[in-house]
Amino acid sequence: MATPSKLHILSHPIVNARLSKLRQTTTSGKEFREGIHDISLILGIEASRDLEEESFSGQTPVAPFVGSVIKPRIGLTPVLRAGMGMTDALLNLFPAARVYHLGIFREKVSLQPIEYYSKLPPNPTVDQVFLLDPLIATGGTACAAMNMLLEWGIPVDQIKLLCVLASQDGLDRVQKEHPGVEIWAAAVDAQLTPNGLILPGLGDTGDRLYNTIKDSEAL
């Protein structure tokens, strides 16, 4: 089990209100995207509190000053496709960040993660990675993405996993398999359905982000 300091659950009225809006079936695709963006922005701000700063000397119109810039090279690794809904918010905070997409889907019967795409270059080009996955349900996808980053060469203490909503089972699995990873979640639901969906959850985040719910139902 990870130490308590490695798991951070946001407790904020704005986040709670945005998340409640996301849960509702009447929320439009546009409203859903905006809510994911807003929560992701707050997650990014909170999760970046301890980033190392580097000072520099500058000049205002009035006088010299000592400013600061973020020292580590930042990488964003959204898990396709739902992680894309979080990416723009993090790019607002880190406009120079490099974005490396990871393609992982959950097989419907076994619920096991299947990797199908990786944009990671041969060797690490960043110092700190924000892993973006809106939902941690069973935890399988998050753990698979973590393994990809670790195999790439990023130390576990330089990875921060950001999610909008997690299940307790999913968090327990991630913490068990990767006890050193720092996790930031907006909220936690206690249960999963038999087919691995968070209960009450948000539904399929990718479908709701991109208005493909009926397409999925037709499969």
Q: Does the structure show a pLDDT above 80 at 66?
A: yes
Q: How far is CA 60 from CA 47, 66, 70, 72, in A?
A: 30, 10, 20, 25
Q: Which CATH class, in words, describes the domain spanning 4-217?
A: alpha beta
- pLDDT above 90 covers a percentage of the chain that reads 84
- Residue 30, CA distances (Å) to 15, 33, 57, 166 in order: 17, 5, 43, 22
CA separation for the pair 99, 119 (Å, rounded): 9
- Which of 57-61, 103-107, 122-126 has the lowest average pLDDT? 103-107
Average pLDDT for the chain: 91
- Helix (H) or strand (E) segment spanning residue 184: strand 182-185
How close are the terminal C-alpha atoms of the chain, in Å?
38
DSSP state of 137: S
Give CA–CA dist 9/74, Å, rounded: 22
pLDDT digits 0-9 by tens, 67-94: 999 999 999 999 998 999 999 999 999 9
In angstroms, the CA 138 to CA 195 distance is: 10
Residue 28: is its pLDDT beyond 80?
yes
At residue 117, the 3 state secondary structure works out as: strand
* pTM of the predicted model as reported, rounded to 2 decimal places: 0.90
pLDDT at 109: 65
Question: Facing residues of 100 across strands?
Answer: none
117 contacts 103 by C-beta, under 8 angstroms:
yes
Q: In the predicted model, is pLDDT for residue 110 greater than 80?
A: no
Sole residue written with tokens 């986040």: 15
Task: Tell whether the model's pLDDT for residue 96 goes beyond 50.
Answer: yes
Look at residue 104 in the predicted model and tell me its pLDDT: 87
Answer whether residue 125 shows pLDDT above 90.
Answer: yes
